[in-house]
Structures are given as structure tokens and as C-alpha cells.
Structure 1
Amino acid sequence: MAKGTNANRESKSKKITLKMAQNRVELTLGGKRRLDLSFMGIAAVPKCVQKLFDMDEVDLSRNMIRKIPDFIAQFIKTSVLDLHSNYLEELPVAIGYLQNLRVLNLCNNRLTSLPSELGLLKKLYTLNLGLNRLDALPASIVALKELRHIGLSDNRFTRVPGCLLKLNKLESVNMDGNPMFTKKMTSQEPVDTSVSFYLVKESFLCTECLNRCQTERKNIKPLCVLLQRSSLFNDLFSPLCTVFRGPRG
């Protein structure tokens, strides 16, 4: 029954022609060319999209896409790739060819692992992997020296990935909704650690408390603080949690 349902969905998938895709190209305020194929009801990336390989930004979010084709390697000029809210179970190794990628949004898919080629995206600034089925990150993540923000919320992590500690420019990490926090909160046994993590939704903080937290940051050097200033990052990582690192007490 389930297989039939999936087959019906794919058979009803909207067919996208080159002309239709071209009509979905727009200019951003910054003068970038953006291909927006979100909410198109497609189950596969249209082959005609190959002819639009010179796009600065590509949005394929909120569809039923199960696989990213290898021709994604042609999009070497693309700096923003939005694939959130699809049915992706894996990424092709060809993702490593997108050398100019700065924002990669893979939130709300079915990813269980990531290719090591992800570490080839040297210019990556923001990576959203929230709402997937990940329990580990590839060791190659340490090569993302420009990475500032990473979203790992609602996955299957039981600990903070050690590779993140080697990213000197990393400013924020969202790990809300992972088993690591649930286990700590429900465990009957005392946690023997010199550091504790406190999760607080930013919207729950009054102005006074928010200012106090920002002041304390200067003294305790948190592992990561999710107090966002970028509107683009807020869109990709909402809802957010603030993670503070402090002494045990």
C-alpha cells in the first residue's frame, strides 16, 4: 500500500520544461541570479536544469526529491543551495565540486550519513543539517575552515562531534532535540563532568537576561552561542536555541 502511494506521488510529479525553469529565474537585491523551483511538487531534479548551471543561487526546497543527480557538479558558480524539506537519503560525492558554495541547507530530509567530499567545500559559511537521521559527521568537516554556523538539531547525536572543536571560526551550533540532551535531563545518575550545557529558547529571554548572557559570554568563552544577527541565518535555522557553556555548579 505504501509503495503504491509513493509510486502515485512520483507519477503525479510535475514535469518542468526549460522554459518553465527559466521563468522561475529572478534577480536578488544583490544582483544575484536565483533559480527558485521550491513548492513545485517535483520528485526529481529536472534534467533541463543542467542548462541553468550558471545560477548564483538554487532553491529546490519543499518538494519530493529523493536523489540529487551527479550533474549538480556543473553548478560550480552556485553560492547558495537550498534543498530543505525533501526526501533525500544521501548526497552524491559530486557535491564536492561546488567550490563556491557558502550556504547549504539540507534540513528536514532523511540523511543518515554524509560523504567525505563535503569537506571540499572550503568556502562554506552556513551548513544546516537539522531534522535528519544523522549520528555522526565525516572527519573531513575539519577542513571547513570558513564555517561559522552549523545546525544539527533533531538528529541522533549522543555527543557533540569532536571535529567541531577544531573549527576555529565556528560561532554557533544548534544541537537541540538530540538524544544527548534528553539522556542528561532524564538520567538518574549524576553526570561527572566539569562543564554543563544549558538550553534556553532565545524567545524566552527578556532583554535584561539576554544582556546578562551576552556579558557572561566574554568571561566564560562558550562552546557555541546561538544568538543570531544574520536574517538569512535566522530563516535557515529557526527555531533556535541558545547553548551556553559554564562551570559545573
Structure 2
Amino acid sequence: MKLHCEVEVVSRHLPTLGLRSRGKGIRAVLTLCQPLSRAGAERGDPHPACLCIATMKDKRGTRYEANSSSLKGFLSALRLAHKGCDFDAPLSTQTPVKTSEFEKFKTKMVITSKKDYPLSKNFPYSLEHLQTSYCGLVRFDMRVLCLKKLKKLDLSHNHIKKLPAGIGDLIYLQELNLNDNHLESFSVALCESTLQQSLRSLDLSKNRIKALPLQFCQLRELTDLKLDDNKLIRFPFKIGQLKNLRFLSAARNKLPFLPSEFKNLSLEYLDLFENTFEQPKDLPVIKLQMPLTLLESSARTILYNRIPYGPHIIPFHLCQDLDAAKTCDCGRFCLNSFIQGTTTMNLHSIAHTVVLLDNMGSTQAPVTSYFCSLACYVNSSNMLK
């Protein structure tokens, strides 16, 4: 076995001579290996193995014999470093170390042409930033999922149509750039993965996405979201849950209106230029049910009182209904019994910088609102147009 690391060899006699170590390690390869001759081991000598430190200047390495207790301590430390994995690999034979093994771990790789894309070798496992743009990729390269330290992944300007759920296993991923691809969706699996804790920036511009799933709003660490030049016909109606979102761009889509919870955002920059916003409707859509059904009444009670629920408690389809419940302006909830109305909102009320919606200079956008009862609708009727 070999361990690539920074090593400093210090003599224990230095303090007695009034000397200090230089306090700086050098790039080395640490090997637990067999001695040059096994004769001693066969005679039962107490030093059956040794520690070899190879450097750029000494590629064959310098051997340091160790007693059995020291070796056990060393192996125990390695097991801890590997999260408790048992050590059962055979000892390496002492051989010269390759020059490439002394190179610093590569943390960034930028590939911007198809001819430079690696096909015969893997990406360096130490990468934290990988960019593969203009490479003509038609599918996601599954080798990327082995880059467990990845923080920034840029796959822009390719032809990728689908993302694997395994991206959600990249627990350190903070920035994901998928600009200018052929994506038609962003999967629920990614929204429910560890990206909920890590993802800060997401660029889905210039794709073919018509709608984002309701679960998208679980990516609550997002600060920067770009959705320009897609085919969006709606935002997730619980988009107001993205409390950390500061930069939102969704220009040149097909949005007819904004969801009511859009009013809960607090942005620094907002761009909704050239969407197909509709004029507010004069008459509301009334879907009130009197008396309320048992399903409606139960759902409102569960949501208002924040009673925990899940597929281990109630059927999965009921969980989906509860997740999709609408929020009334009064703060209560409604499932299938509601009044739907349309208001207008000045986007400056939620964003410091607003790009004009059209060439006429408008910053007023239509917003769909829901009311759980006739009383709520009447109380808010002076806001409706």
C-alpha cells in the first residue's frame, strides 16, 4: 500500500544538540513494505516489515524498520482515516516510485474542446472544480460521480438531455452550471438529495425546461438561480421557501403569471424580461365546496397545526396532496376548495434591482392568489383588479 503525503523526517537528537527541525514537509510517498530480504523474517526476527519514504530526490526510498507494536499503531491510524475499514491488503514490495506520484494533487481542470476531453483515463480524484464545456457531450459522464471532493461542476455548452440522480451524492457540490444544454427537466431525486445542504448556485439557462418540480423549493441554500431562455410556463408555487435566494433570472420564458408565494422572496437582482405575462382577470375562479369534504377539512387541520406526516403514516398520494396545498393570503391552507384571483405586484417590493419586464418600462407583474373562504376573498377584494 502507498500513501501520498507531505512528510518531514525529524531526528530525536536535535533538541539535545540545540537544533530545531526546519518545520516543513516535502512531497513523498509512504509505503509499508517487505524488507529487502525475508531471511530475518524466516528466522523469527522481530522486524518482519518496514516503512519506506520515497522522495523526488530519493525515488528508491529510505527504509525505516519498525517493531510490531509501532506497525499496529500505524495501521490503526490508517483504519481510522478510512472510516474503520479493515486492513487486509498485502504489503507492497519496495520499488522505485514514479515521478508523477510526487506531483501536487490537481484540484482544477478546465476542458473547452472535444479533442481535449479525456477518454482513456479517469479524471483526477482530487478535483474540486471541473469544467467540460463545448465538448459535444450528449450524456452525462458517469466518471464525474467518482469526484467526491467536487465543489464546482460546469457542463455548459453541451447537448446533455438528462441528469443522473447520482449528482446528488456529490456532498460538497456548491455550483452547478448546465447552461446551453438540451435538458427538459430537473428531477425530483436531485431536489431531495444532499444538494439541499450544499448547492448555492444553479444555472439552467438555455435549455428546454417547461416546469420545475414542487420539490425544487427544498434546495433552500440556493442564492443564485438562472433560468433564462427556457420554456417555463410556471414557477414552483412554493418558491417563497427559497429564503436565501438573492439573484433570480428567468428572462425570455412563457410565464403567464407569478405564484402568490413569490411575494415572500427577498432579492437583490430580478430579471423577468420578455415573458408572456397576462392581464389580471376581472372575475375570480370559484371552487369553494360547502360543506368542506372530510379530506379538505383534515388536510387544513394537519397543515395549519403543522402535524408531521409522511408515507409511513398516510398513503403516498395523500402526502402529495398535502405537499401541493395552496396558501391563502390569511396564512391558512386550502386543497381543493378555494377562490382563485389575480392581483398585480410591483417587483421592486421584493427586489433591489429589477430588469424591466418589457420595452414599455413596466415592473408590474400579475400574481395568482388563493383564498380559503369567501370571507378572505371579500377582505382582500380591494386589492384585486
TM-score over 0.5 for the pair: yes
153, 156, 165: which one aligns with 2:254: 156
Q: Could you say if the C-alpha distance between residues 195 and 111 of structure 1 is closer, same or farther in structure 2, counting changes exceeding 3 Å?
A: closer
Answering whether residue 267 of structure 2 is matched by residue 170 of structure 1, we say yes
Post-superposition, which runs of at least 4 consecutive aligned residues in structure 1 deviate over 4 A?
A: 12-16, 193-197, 240-246
1:213-249 deviations in whole A, cap 9, x for unaligned?
xxxxxxxx6443437xxxxxxxxxxxx6587758xxx
Answering whether residue 145 of structure 2 is matched by residue 50 of structure 1, we say yes
Other-structure match for 1:143: 241
Distance between the aligned counterparts of 2:258 and 2:167, measured in 1?
A: 30
Kept in 2, the 8 Å contact 1:112–1:132? The answer is yes
22, 43, 50: which one aligns with 2:124: 22
Kept in 2, the 8 Å contact 1:102–1:123? The answer is yes
More helix by share: 1
Kept in 2, the 8 Å contact 1:223–1:244? The answer is no
| RMSD, aligned CA | 3.3
Q: Secondary structure at the match of 1:127?
A: strand
Other-structure match for 1:74: 169
Amino acid at match of 1:86: N
1:36-88 deviations in whole A, cap 9, x for unaligned?
11111100111111111321100011000000111111112111100010000
Q: Could you say if the C-alpha distance between residues 241 and 40 of structure 1 is closer, same or farther in structure 2, counting changes exceeding 3 Å?
A: farther
Q: Using the TM superposition, name which of 51-60 and 138-147 deviates more.
A: 138-147
Q: Could you say if the C-alpha distance between residues 23 and 225 of structure 1 is closer, same or farther in structure 2, counting changes exceeding 3 Å?
A: same
What is the identity percentage for the equivalent residue pairs of Structure 1 and Structure 2? 28
Distance between the aligned counterparts of 1:60 and 1:16, measured in 2?
A: 14
* Structure 1 spans left out of the alignment, 5+ residues: 1-11, 26-32, 185-192, 198-220, 228-239
1:6-53 deviations in whole A, cap 9, x for unaligned?
xxxxxx99975483643995xxxxxxx211111111001111111113
1:180-204 deviations in whole A, cap 9, x for unaligned?
28x79xxxxxxxx88778xxxxxxx
Answering whether residue 192 of structure 2 is matched by residue 65 of structure 1, we say no
Q: Provide the TM-score with structure 1 as the length reference.
A: 0.64
More strand by share: 2
Kept in 1, the 8 Å contact 2:149–2:170? The answer is yes
Amino acid at match of 2:188: V
Q: How many residues align?
A: 184
Q: Secondary structure at the match of 1:180?
A: coil
Kept in 1, the 8 Å contact 2:267–2:350? The answer is no
Distance between the aligned counterparts of 2:124 and 2:344, measured in 1?
A: 56
Kept in 2, the 8 Å contact 1:119–1:141? The answer is yes
Amino acid at match of 1:126: D
Q: Provide the TM-score with structure 2 as the length reference.
A: 0.42
Q: Could you say if the C-alpha distance between residues 130 and 13 of structure 1 is closer, same or farther in structure 2, counting changes exceeding 3 Å?
A: farther
Amino acid at match of 2:174: S
Amino acid at match of 1:118: F
Other-structure match for 1:117: 215
